[in-house]
Amino acid sequence: MLTLRPNCECCDCDLPPESGEAMICSYECSFCRRCVDTVLANVCPNCGGGFQPRPIRPRTARRAGVSLAHQPASTKRVHLRHSIADVRAFAAQVKEILPQDR
């Protein structure tokens, strides 16, 4: 099941479960749209993949047992293991390659 991380791994802004600003890569690394666009150049600094908007988990169980109440978002904050300078250098190497071709 998708882990809904509570923060941007780059700037540490809050990304609540209902946020339309949350972006994820295929490994569920989570970043805000601003960092994806301005710092990361749509390159995940952890895997090199691209980003997509994070799905929003329903608050209300419209089907039995399927909602935020039953599968809550994570409260564990995650942070980059790399410096911003390293992240920018990494993104510069691959940003011109389309995510599907990386």
pLDDT in tens, 45-66: 999 999 999 999 999 999 999 9
At 27 the pLDDT is 97
Looking at residue 92, its amino acid is A
pLDDT tens-digit profile of 72-102? 999 999 999 999 999 999 999 999 999 999 9
Tens digit of pLDDT for each residue in 29-43?
999 999 999 999 999
pLDDT of residue 42: 98
pLDDT value of residue 82: 96
CA distances from 24 to 17, 44, 62, 63, 88 (A): 13, 9, 25, 25, 18
Tell me the whole-structure pTM to 2 decimals. Answer: 0.90
